[in-house]
Structure 1
Amino acid sequence: MTDEQRYGLSTDSMRALAANFEPAGGRRLKIGIFVCPGFIPMDIIGAQSVFGIVGAEIHLIWKRIELVEGFPAYPTMPTTRFEDCPDDLDALVVGMIPPEMMADPDVIDFFADQGRKAKNIIATCSGTLVIGAAGLLKGRRATSNSNVVEYLKDLGAIPVKGSDVVVDGNIYTSGPATGSFDASLILLGHLLGEEVAKLAELTLEYDPRPPFKTGTPELAGPELAERAHLAMLEINTAYHRASVAGYERLTSA
């Protein structure tokens, strides 16, 4: 795989498009996005889109270069192994992953190591639990999806309810899905300037208009919120166990 293929720049049209967004001086951002078996694409696609549109060097990071299945039905080929991950990432990005992956010591050790080297971190949905398990949220304000945000206190964090992006130092956390776009645009503004971020937002025509307006428990009402809570209860309980186990293993070492 060539670098042009790796970064989606193997066609003249896409190279020309990316060139329109290159910052003065030509420095390309370096972004690492974590993928693994069962990762949730909607939680990282915002970062991939926002940073990709400005021609960033994007690394899809996993243990091995092997096809992994995003859920649902999103086969993805990683481009970068753990040991080859650059130590100078402008941002390390993680979204929701299965509890089994969170329980993998190799995964948490990777985040404990690279999370301290990366200039910034974006964690969306229960990806916040991943960086919390890696000990990166001690004393930090952070948020997540509504059903797991309270778990953050068991990882040394200060939970913040609500779907808005929470920025604490170099760590950007958010709720699921659109939170990935929001956090990435905010960080892009900090990295390359507000005008670049505004242009990226407009080029993507990012302007969410949910048709049913039930995207938070408060908007959905108690009956629908309870149904959603019960649907996610088993997997969220597994997230709690895995993240606390990882956190305790690292902090007690």
Structure 2
Amino acid sequence: MGTLPVQVQEMPTMTEMRRKMVGSGNKPFKVAIVISPGFIPMDMIGIQTVLATCPGAELHLVWKKRELVEGFPNWWTMPTTTFEECPEDLDVLAAPMMPPEVTGDPEVVAFFRDRGSRARYVIGVCCGVLLAGAAGLLRGKRVTASYNALSVVGDLGPSEVLPPGSGVVVDGNLYTAGPGIGSFEASLMVAADAFGQRVGELFELAIEYDPHPPFGTGNANNAAPALLEQFRAIESHMMPLYRAGTTQALRNVPA
């Protein structure tokens, strides 16, 4: 599908709300989120929601081409920036869950390693953590990931893999988390580190971030064995592909 024309319509009410939240005249805060065919929108939406409203924020949705990609499922998204166009001096580089065809793609891995090795913060959410691992960014780090991805993460050089329920794991400038709410929590923590806790608190209040899981099964430690088995089966065809692609890519990354 070819590139579609983009028409920007100003919404003064939203512009004013953003001005009240972050002020004006701030130095650029450059945020890049890698998206791809098959990416999982919920793993990037927290990053977009929180960090795109930080002072001076410049948001880049990055892919190989500026052509519509379909987030899974039926979430068509237009990349704003190509790998070549993406700024080199990023404040934040982030990866949501993407399919194994992407996390082991040499072009994607090379981009993530290049920008991630220089970024002020790196965020990996769910299986997006595996892309960071393929790029060599997990070596010697304490990390976590989604429940199913934990079986692969350990092959990518971390010093410690934390289990489900660990929340966001921070090691230096690396923030790793499980799916969904992990993107919000990691982003709130990055915002607080970059701009002060008051900013993190304000953004948390602004989005009224206060999860209340209705069934209590969002943590694998609390799920019944039969439910866990059903969940593992859903992604069982993907995990060997994630392992093969990311470990092969990591072998090509200098230690």
Q: TM-score range by the shorter chain?
A: over 0.9
Task: Report the counterpart of residue 206 of structure 1 in structure 2.
Answer: 209
The 5 A counterparts of 1:224-239 are 224-239=227-242
**In structure 1, what is the equivalent of residue 147 of structure 2?**
146
Give 2:161's aligned amino acid.
P
Secondary structure, aligned partner of 1:109:
helix
Q: How does 1:61-140 map to 2 (within 5 A)?
A: 61-140=62-141
Distance 1:106 1:172 in 2: 23
Q: Which amino acid aligns with 1:202?
A: L
Q: Which amino acid aligns with 1:160?
A: L
| Normalised TM-score (structure 1) | 0.93
Which structure is higher in helix share? 1
Question: Residue 150 of structure 1: CA displacement?
Answer: 3.1
Is the alpha carbon distance of 1:137 and 1:217 closer, same or farther for their aligned partners in structure 2, counting shifts above 3 Å?
same
Report if the CA contact (8 A) 1:133-1:247 is conserved.
yes
Q: Distance in 1 between matches of 2:211 and 2:170?
A: 21
1:3/1:59 CA distance change after superposition, 3 Å: farther
Alignment of 1:171-190 (within 5 A): 171-190=174-193
Out of 157, 161, 164, the position equivalent to 1:162 is 164
Q: Which moved more, 1:15-24 or 1:169-178?
A: 15-24
Distance 1:4 1:120, change over 3 A: farther
**Separation (CA, whole Å) in 1 of partners of 2:118 and 2:175:** 15
What is the DSSP-based 3-state SS (H/G/I as helix, E as strand, rest coil) of the residue aligned with 1:250?
Answer: coil
Sort the Cα spacing of 1:155 and 1:39 in 2 relative to 1 into closer, same or farther, 3 A: same
Deviation, 1:43, is 0.5
Residue 193 of structure 1 corresponds to 196
Structure 2 spans left out of the alignment, 5+ residues: none
Q: Using a 3 Å threshold, how does the CA distance of structure 1 residues 83 and 174 change in structure 2: closer, same or farther?
A: same
Query: In structure 1, how many angstroms separate the alpha carbons of the residues matched to 2:114 and 2:156?
Result: 17
Q: Report the residue type matching 1:223 in the other structure.
A: A
For residue 24 of structure 1, report the CA deviation from its aligned partner: 7.5
| Residues in 2 aligned to 1:251 and 1:43: alpha-carbon distance in whole angstroms | 29
Tell whether the 8 Å contact from 2:164 to 2:221 is kept in structure 1 after alignment. Answer: no
Which position in structure 2 is the counterpart of 1:220?
A: 223
Following TM superposition, the consecutive aligned residue runs of length 4 or more in structure 1 with deviations greater than 6 angstroms are: 1-4
**2:243 aligned to which of 233, 240, 243:** 240
Corresponding residue number in structure 1 for 2:35: 35
> Could you tell me how far apart the structure 2 residues matched to 1:250 and 1:172 are?
21
- Cα distance per residue 1:182-227 (max 9 Å; x no partner): 0000110000111111111111011111111111221112111111
TM-score (norm 2): 0.92
Identity of aligned residues (%): 42
Q: CA RMSD in A?
A: 2.0
